[in-house]
Amino acid sequence: EARVYAEENGLFFMETSAKSAANVNDVFYEIAKRLPRAQPAQNPTGMVLVDRPAEGSRAASCCS
Q: Residue ranges of the domains in the chain?
A: 1-34
What is the per-residue pLDDT across 4-51, written as a single tens digit (0 to 9) for each?
A: 999 999 999 999 999 999 999 999 999 999 888 877 767 666 666 777
Q: Cβ distance 52 to 60 under 8 Å?
A: no
One-letter amino acid of 63: C
Q: Under 8 Å CB-to-CB from 13, ≥6 apart: which residues?
A: 2, 3, 5, 6, 7
What is the per-residue pLDDT across 51-61, written as a single tens digit (0 to 9) for each?
A: 777 666 565 55
Q: What is the DSSP secondary structure assignment for residue 31, as one 8-state letter?
A: H
